[in-house]
Amino acid sequence: MALASNCSDTKGADGANGGAGPDGSAGSEQAGSPPNAADSAGAASLAGAAGDTGTAGPLSCNANFTISNVAFYGNAGTQRPGLSSCPAVTPAAAAITGNNVTTADDGTIVYGTSPALWATFSAHGTGQLPVTLSVNSSGGLTVRASIYSADGSYANAQAGLAYVGTNCLNASQYTGIRFELTGDFGKCGMLFEVIDAEDTPSSAVPGKAECTASRCIDPYFRLTKPGVYEVPFSALANGAPMPTVDTTSIIGMQWLLSVGG
């Protein structure tokens, strides 16, 4: 499921100019204010100060963490009509991960009951090791990734959940998405992204995604440490061409790990 192809290059470019932004809240508190492009992607850059030649050295990070209890949360009022041309359906339930976990013949982990199914996917940059996904006894999604940059330039890897079927999801009646991260993502920077139709390249998810612009970036929020997160849709920012998430045309979500910038 090629949902991650719209962020490999553009966030590295943003991050080159960024300083460390405000941390998102972990624990039981809600996520804080949305970061700007420089804050989010720039803070994900772990490069040290440049040497005399102005060239950064090698960078690497290792992550081994579990994503669990993913669900829509809150009450934003009456569901809004969709903005996208992607036909949308209402989520059958707020919960996304947890019970009813199966593994497809190709190894894809699938959550939910038909027709409300969420399938796992992963992606990695050129020259990077594949991301390993597995499910634990409680239904959590365990992610293992190693990222290396020989020259300190931007490198990333992703793991996520894609809504299965020909429809998008209209989750505009909810406030945001809740999830728990346990384990360790080491020195990797991490972003949480909601994938919507307007900001995802049409070639990545034919029939759902609509972006044909030169830059297609899904709105994102910076994560700083393991914990319980409640990320309001309003905190997801810096998408392109649409800066904020269209909650009426959700295709999926992903957790993006990175080094360099």
pLDDT for 51 equals 39
CA distances from 29 to 25, 178, 194, 232 (A): 6, 11, 20, 11
Interval 182-203: pLDDT, tens: 999 999 999 999 999 999 999 9
| pTM over 0.85, yes/no | no
Instruction: Please give the helix or strand (H or E) that residue 38 lies within, else none.
Output: helix 37-43
pLDDT for 177 equals 98
pLDDT for 165 equals 87
pLDDT for 20 equals 33
The rounded distance, in Å, linking the Cα atoms of 37 and 112 is 34
Neighbouring-strand partners of residue 195: 252
- Report residue 176 as tokens: 């945001």
DSSP reduced 3-state for 228: strand
The rounded distance, in Å, linking the Cα atoms of 245 and 248 is 9
The low-confidence residues of the chain, meaning pLDDT below 70, are 1-56
pLDDT for 246 equals 95
Query: For the chain, what is the radius of gyration of the CA atoms?
Result: 17
Rounded to the nearest angstrom, the gap between the alpha carbon of residue 228 and the centroid of all alpha carbons in its chain is 16
pLDDT for 33 equals 33
